[in-house]
Chain A
Amino acid sequence: MGDDFRTCPVTGFKVHLPAEKLIKVNAVTAVVALLVGAIMALLVVLTRWETVHLLRPIDFYKFVTLHGWNMLGFWIIFFEVAVLYFAGAIMLNTRLASPKLGWVAYALMLIGALGTNITVLMNPTKNAIMFTSYVPLKATPGYYLSVILFAVGALLAVFNFLATLYIAKKEKTYRGSLPLVVFGALAAAIIAVSTLLFGAAALVPTLFWSMDIAPTWDALTYRIVFWAFGHPSQQINVAAMIAIWYLLAYLTVGGTTISEKFSRLAFVFYILFINIASAHHLLVDPGVSTAWKIWNTSYAMYLAVLASMMHAFAVPAAIEVAQRKKGFNRGLFEWLWKAPWKNPSFSALILSIIVFGFLGGISGVIQGTEQLNIRFHNTLAIPGHFHGTVAGGTTLAFMGITYYVLPLIFRRELVGKSLAVYQPWLFGIGIALVSIGMQGAGLYGVPRRHADITSFGGSGFAFEYDPTAYLWLAVMGIGGILAFAGAVLFVLIAVATLIKGRRL
C-alpha cells in the first residue's frame, strides 16, 4: 500500500486519498447547492400558494428557473459525481484514474453552476426562461455557455469513473464481478454519456444562435432533441438512487439482493430503454405520429417501468430477508416494525422508496400515457410527479447515504444525532405533501410555471379556479415549508458535524 491510500477501519476498503478529497469537495458543493435551491424553493412555493403569493412575476420566473437548476442540476449532479468516485475507486479498492481530471471536471462544473446562477439573476428578462430554455425564447450566450461548461465537466467526471473501472479490472483490485452497487453506478454513468451528448446537441447550436452565428432551430426539433437529453438525465438519477438503495439496505441492516441476476437485469433495462421513453414529453405535440408516441412511451417506457418494479421488490426483499435471518420472523411485518428506525439512514431509505414509488412512479406512468397526458400536460401535476421522484426519492436517498459519508469519508462523528432521527421524516413528509398538493391542484387545471393565477396580471379575462384547487395549493404550501425546514436541518447537521464533530 502506497502513501496515497488509507484502510477504512470500519469497512476495510482501501481508500485512495486523492479520490477521497474529490468526493468531499463534490459532496460539500452539492449540499451548498441544495441549500441555495431550498431557499429558492421556499420563495417559489410561497408564491404558488395563492394565499401568500409572495413574489412578483419576474422574480418568480427567475427563482423557478434557478430552483430547477440548483436542485435538478447542481445538487443532484455534484452529489452523483461524489457517488461515482466512491463506487468506482473506494468500493473497488483502487485509485481514481486521474485526480487531475477530477479537479478539471470539478472546476468546469463549479464555473458552470456559478455562471448559470449569475446570468439568470442579473438578467431575468432574457435568461429566466426555465430549465428547458425552449427555442425561440432566446437567452444571452453567457447562460448557454455556463450550462454547457457544467455539462462538459460532468461528462469528464463520468469518463474519469469509467476509466477507474477499467483500471480496477486490469489491476484486479477486486474479485468476481462488479458489486451490485457499482453495477448500478455504471448504469447511471452509461446513461449519462448519451444524455450529455444529446444535451450538447441541444445547447451548442442554441448557443451559436444566441450569438447570431447560427440560424434559428425549428421549435419542435429543439424540443425533441432537448428531451432526448432531458428525460434520460432523470434516469441517471433513478439508477443512482437505486444503487444507493442497495447500499443503504446493506449498511443499515446487512441486506443484499435475493437475486443478483434479477437486480442486474433491471439496471440493464434502464440503459436499453430509457432514451426512447423521452417521447412522453411530446405526447400532445403536433408533428409527431401516434405510432411514434405509443411505441416510445410504452414499449420503451413500460420496460423501464418494469425495471423499476423489479427493484421495488428486490430492495425491500433484501431488507426483509436480512431482518428475518436476524430473528424478526413473526407474521408479515415484524421485520419492518423491528427495523432500526432510529437510524436516520434507514428511515430515509424507506421514505425514499415509498415517496418515489407511490407519489412519483405511479403518477409518472399515468401522466406519460398518450391519451391521459391530455389532462396533465403543463399543469401543476407534472411538477407534482417529479417532486415525488427526484425531490422525494433521490434526495431522500442521498440524505440517507450522507449520514454514512460523514463518519466514513469525512471521519467526523455526527453532531445532532437526536435531531437527525427526525430529519428524514420532516423533509419526507413535507415533500410528500408538496407532491400531493401539486397533483391535486393540477387535477383542477392549475398551470405549472405560472406567476399569477389570482389576477392573471390584471387581464380582463381573469377568473377564479374551483375553490378545491386553492385548498390543494395550501397543502403544497405547508408541505413546502416543512420540506424547507427538513432540508435546512439536514444542511445544519452536516455543517455542524464537519465543524464540531469529534474526529474518528
Chain B
Amino acid sequence: MPREERLWFSIALAWAIVMFIMMPLWHIYGSQNPSTETYKVEPEEFVTLTQQFIERYKVGEENGVPVVEPPPGSDVYLLGKQFSWEPVIKLKKGETYRLHLSSADVLHGFSVYPMNINFMVIPGYDYVLTITPTEAGEYRVVCNEYCGPGHQLMVGKIIVE
C-alpha cells in the first residue's frame, strides 16, 4: 500500500474509533441521550391513562384540546392520534418530568419545534422520556411521521413557564 494511502487509512481508522467512543462518552458526561425506558401497552390502555391524566391536571382548553399543568417530577402523558396531539401541556422551566409517548392508532413522530427534539411514537409502546425543559417559551409538537391523509393537521403545543 503506497504511503499516502496508508496515512489516509490510519487517519480514517483513528477517526472511526473517536466517533465510536464519543457515543458512550456522551451517555456518561452528556445531557441529551435517547431514553430506553419503554413499556408495552395496548393503545386503548394508553388512551385511558391519558384521559385519567387529563382529568387530574386539566386547567383549561385551547382549540378544543384540554390544557394540563402537571406538577414537577410527575408522569406526563402525551397521546398521538390521527390527527392530533392530546393534551396541551404546561411545564415549568428547569423542572424534570417523565413524558410518556404513545399512539392510539398508527406511527407518529414527536417533533418539538424549535428545539428540534425528535422521537418515534409507536402504538403498543409507552416510550418514557425524562425531560427537563431548559428554556421558557411556547413550543409546538409537529407530527413528522406520515400517519395518513390528515398528517399535516397534526400539531400540538407544549408551554414552558
Contact = CB atoms under 8 A, between A and B. Distances in A.
Interface of A: 57-58, 61, 124-125, 129-130, 134, 136-137, 218-220, 223, 258-259, 261-262, 283-290, 293-294, 297-299, 302-303, 305-306, 309-310, 313-314, 317, 365, 369-371, 373-379, 443-445, 447-453, 456-463, 465-466
Interface string B1-19: 1101100110011001101
Interface of B: 1-2, 4-5, 8-9, 12-13, 16-17, 19-20, 22-24, 26-27, 30, 32-36, 38, 62-64, 101, 105-107, 109, 111-120, 122-127, 140, 142-157
B151 A379 contact: no
Contact of A461 (B5, B34, B127, B140): B140
Given A58-B149, A259-B2, 18 more contacts: A61-B149, A136-B105, A137-B147, A219-B107, A258-B2, A259-B5, A285-B122, A287-B122, A303-B16, A371-B26, A374-B34, A374-B116, A378-B145, A379-B118, A379-B144, A443-B116, A450-B144, A459-B63
A284 B19 contact: no
A58 B148 CA distance: 9
Contact of B34 (A218, A370, A456): A370
Contacts of B150: 57, 457
Contact of B106 (A134, A258, A262, A379): A134
B142 A310 contact: no
Contacts, number: 199
25 contacts: A134-B106, A219-B123, A219-B124, A220-B122, A259-B5, A285-B120, A287-B122, A290-B36, A294-B20, A298-B23, A309-B12, A370-B34, A374-B119, A375-B116, A377-B144, A378-B109, A443-B116, A445-B112, A445-B116, A450-B152, A456-B153, A459-B155, A460-B62, A461-B155, A463-B140
Nearest to B38: A286
Nearest to B109: A378
B118 A463 contact: no
A231 to B, nearest CB: 16
Contact of A445 (B1, B142, B154): B142
Given A285-B120, A289-B36, A294 B24 contact: yes
A136 B145 CA distance: 13
B20 A302 contact: yes
A223 B124 CA distance: 13
B22 A377 contact: no
Nearest to A461: B155
A371 B5 CA distance: 32
A463 B4 CA distance: 53
A465 B139 CA distance: 11
A450 B142 CA distance: 10
Contact of A457 (B13, B16, B33, B152): B152
B124 to A, nearest CB: 6
A447 B5 contact: no
